[in-house]
Amino acid sequence: MSKSLHSPTARLLQSSRLFSLPRPLPPPILESPSASGAYKASETATLPYPTHQAIATPASSHFRGDWGLKRPIPRKTTARSTTPVIRVRAQDNTQHITDFESAADHVLTEAKWRQMGIPLINKDGRTNYSGNRGTPQSVYDDNLDNTDPDATRFDAQLPSGRQNLSSANAETGNQRWKFAGPWLAGMEEGEFEDYVSDKLSKRKAEFKKFLAKRILEKRIRDEERVNRERGQGGALPAKRVEQLRQYVEENYDSEEKKLRDDHIHQHLGSALTAAICDFLDLPGVEMGRQNFAHSALLQNQLNSLTSTQGPPSTHPGAGLSYIRTNAFMENHPYWGPQAHRAPVKARVMTPRTSATFNNHYALLGIGGVVARDPIGTGVNVDSRAAVPEYNENEKEEHYANPDRMVTALDENLPGGNKIWVHPQSAHINEAGFIDLEISRGDKEAIAVKRNKVQHIHDARSQSFGATGSGYVGGARPGQEPNYGSSLPDMRRRRTSGVEGFDREMGRSPLDQAQATERIRRLMDGYTPKNSPSDSSKSSVE
């Protein structure tokens, strides 16, 4: 026991606090800078998604520069940072230093998204046949969040009635987001040739065994189905299964030729295509489909093969949010449930009008992500000349005018141009970029967020008050017969049990001074019935 505790491996584990780091992801593919200036690339810009693990340390260890690495990190490099989080590019190199940099960009982005609570959805591209777009679904739905190939095969083998109950979308069925094979539609010609020559040429014998097993399973299923239709039982005996296996092995070449001939006529819908996709586990193809009688299933199969969108590089949620939908209400601590969620401020990155060109839609920055303004140049925009100049005290009032904020940037506005928006949903494409959908902020939600709701109460009291000038209608409900209102209630009102000055005080609201005066006046001139003084006087007489 003592030898195992003092072994070199045990001492290494006891002295190591950061045992290993996950392997970094491949860097995202960025566009090269254009000479025309239409696209501006930056080497210091934040990457679309993180590639290295972010590391944090307690405050006591941070003061000593201890991050659990091979050597301490200089404290002056992270002491002034409000978010002391780093990512290590190399724990050691030829210069015997630790290559690291700040990871606050992606850490703060993740914190902002967790606070905003934006649901992540899966967008189906338009089909090449009908041009329709599928209904957006959450990336965490049971029919989308799958990694096991057997999940799609099991869904394909179910009867049509049970498929409608087991899947949220009967046309697409269960889908997967993680595959072992490459995306053929996204490969270049040279990459495809290397893939075929280097990897596929060495797996011919393996594919032959796989195809023979697949043909045998199909033969067994067909005979079992015929026996069930004749009422002769279900499973085949072992002797019959062995006979079918010998037949497939002896006639493999003819069976393979039959599959090739069917592929000439059926193309992507053939059984040979399904076998190849199942063997290589190719993305964008639904495996195990045995029935292509429905045109929707066949179209979905063909569209997925020729789609321009590949599978996601990571989970479609990417760890940004775990909310399935935005169909929930926020409960304000003072005003109660709200019709709209709390808005957030979005910075205007590119206005509609700039020095180089005019855009139909402004670009906004929300939570570290650039999104497009949902309202374009087709709406009426207020003239900037008719609005007074900015000042520090009234800049929040100018933020409430989104049309002016997105028209052109004003360098005199403290903090820059900003507007209030409601994040609705987000989608992460196959390249790792975030597609965020937003809507303009609701005026009432903005007022609740800023805690300035007095003008809302004033407007409602004037519009819906009983004696207000904005009240529209004839007789008040219950005063005279009318459609939509009842007859007046002629029943005798119930006598209240409250008497004395409590009853007098309950008729009209009084302040403290008026209430004290009313109580004193009632006490001086009020004598209750059957008081003790009257009863004693009557007894003496």
- Coil, strand, or helix at residue 528? coil
**Tokens matching residue 294:** 């429905």
pLDDT at 419: 92
Least confident of 142-156, 164-178, 294-308: 294-308
pLDDT at 111: 92
Least confident of 294-298, 304-308, 519-523: 294-298
Average pLDDT rounded to a whole number, residues 439-462: 87
Residues contacting 25, CB < 8 A, separation 6+: 49, 50, 51, 313, 314
Amino acid at 33: P
What does the domain layout of the chain look like in residue ranges? 43-115, 145-305, 331-455
Banded pLDDT at 133 (limits 50, 70, 90):
low
pLDDT at 343: 94
Domain 331-455: homologous superfamily in CATH: Nucleic acid-binding proteins (2.40.50.140)
DSSP result, 201-237: GGGHHHHHHHHHHHHHHHHHHHHHHHHHHHTS-SSPP
Is 405's pLDDT higher than 50? yes
E-assigned strands of 45-98?
54-55, 86-90
DSSP result, 481-522: -BTTBPPP--SPPPPPS--THHHHHTSS---HHHHHHHHHHH
Per-residue pLDDT reduced to its tens digit, 218-261: 989 888 888 888 887 778 888 888 999 999 999 999 989 998 89
**Tokens matching residue 446:** 């903005």
Least confident of 253-267, 405-419, 475-489, 502-516: 475-489
Least confident of 210-214, 343-347, 395-399, 454-458: 395-399
Straight-line distance from the first to the last Cα atom of the chain, in angstroms, rounded to the nearest whole number: 110
Helix (H), strand (E) at residue 336: strand 336-337
SS3 for 256-310, per residue?
A: HHHHHHHHHHHHHHCHHHHHHHHHHCCCCCCCCCCCCCCHHHHHHHHHHHCCCCC
C-alpha–C-alpha distance, residues 456 and 439, integer Å = 22
State pTM to two decimals: 0.65
